[in-house]
Chains A and B, each alone.
Chain A
Amino acid sequence: MDSFTYVNIFETKGLEYLLLLCFWGLFVYLLKYLSTPDKKRKDSKR
Chain B
Amino acid sequence: MNNNVAINASFGNLFRFFIQELKPRGPWLTPFNIISIPVILVGLGILVYRFIHGLGSVTNLSQETPWGLWMGFDVVTGVALAGGAYVITFVVYVVGLDKYHGIVRATVLNGLLAYCFYGGALLIDLGRPWNAPNPYIGNSFGFSSVLFLICWHFLLYMVCEFVEFSPVIAEWLHLEKAKRFLKKLTLATVVLGITLSILHQSGLGALFLMAKPKIHPLWWSEFIPILFFVSSIYAGLSMIIFEGTVSHKVFSHLIPEKHHHHFDDIVFGLAKGAAITMFVYYFFKALLFIHDKQWDLIADGWGLWYLLEVIGFVLVPALMFAFGFKHRSLRIIKIAAVMALIGIILNRLNVSVIAFNWYSVAHYVPTWQEIVVTFMVIFSELWVFRWFVTRLPVFDSGH
Chain A residues packing against B (C-beta within 8 Å): 10, 13, 15-16, 19-20, 23, 26-27, 30-31, 33-34, 37-38, 40-44, 46
Residue from B272, B276, B291, B328 in contact with A38 in the complex, judged by beta carbons closer than 8 Å: B328
Chain A residues with CB under 8 A of B287:
16, 19-20, 23
Residue from B280, B286, B322, B331 in contact with A33 in the complex, judged by beta carbons closer than 8 Å: B322
Complex contact A30–B279 (CB within 8 A): yes
CA distance A42 to B264 in the complex (A): 12
Identify the closest chain B residue to A27 (Cβ). Answer: B279
What are 10 A-to-B residue pairs whose CB atoms are below 8 Å?
Answer: A10-B293, A15-B290, A19-B283, A27-B283, A37-B326, A37-B327, A40-B328, A41-B328, A43-B330, A46-B260
Complex contact A30–B276 (CB within 8 A): yes
Is B329 part of the contact surface with A, judged by Cβ < 8 Å? yes
Given contacts A16-B291, A19-B287, A37-B268, contact A44 B279 (CB under 8 A): no
Min Cβ gap B26→A in Å is 22
In B262-300, the 8 Å CB interface with A consists of 264, 268, 272, 275-276, 279-280, 283, 286-287, 290-291, 293
Complex contact B279–A38 (CB within 8 A): no
In B239-261, the 8 Å CB interface with A consists of 248-249, 260
Q: How many A-B residue pairs have CB under 8 A?
A: 57
Complex contact A34–B326 (CB within 8 A): yes
Complex contact A43–B329 (CB within 8 A): yes
Complex contact B283–A23 (CB within 8 A): yes
Chain B residues with CB under 8 A of A30:
275-276, 279, 322
A27-B280, A34-B325, A46-B248 are known contacts; what are 18 more A-B pairs with Cβ within 8 Å?
A10-B293, A19-B283, A23-B283, A27-B283, A30-B275, A30-B322, A31-B276, A33-B326, A34-B326, A37-B325, A37-B328, A38-B327, A38-B328, A40-B327, A43-B328, A43-B329, A44-B264, A44-B330
Chain A residues with CB under 8 A of B327:
37-38, 40, 42
In B316-364, the 8 Å CB interface with A consists of 322, 325-331
Chain A residues with CB under 8 A of B330:
43-44, 46
CA distance A40 to B327 in the complex (A): 7
Chain B residues with CB under 8 A of A38:
326-328
Chain A residues with CB under 8 A of B293:
10
Complex contact B286–A19 (CB within 8 A): yes
Min Cβ gap A12→B in Å is 12
Residue from B264, B283, B322 in contact with A34 in the complex, judged by beta carbons closer than 8 Å: B322
Identify the closest chain B residue to A18 (Cβ). Answer: B290
Complex contact B331–A43 (CB within 8 A): yes
Min Cβ gap B310→A in Å is 14
Chain A residues with CB under 8 A of B331:
42-43
Min Cβ gap B161→A in Å is 29
Q: Which of A27, A33, A34, A38 has the most CB of B within 10 A?
A: A34
Chain A residues with CB under 8 A of B268:
37
CA distance A38 to B325 in the complex (A): 8
CA distance A20 to B249 in the complex (A): 43
CA distance A45 to B342 in the complex (A): 25
Min Cβ gap A10→B in Å is 7
CA distance A16 to B275 in the complex (A): 23
Chain A residues with CB under 8 A of B322:
30, 33-34
Chain A residues with CB under 8 A of B326:
33-34, 37-38
CA distance A23 to B330 in the complex (A): 27
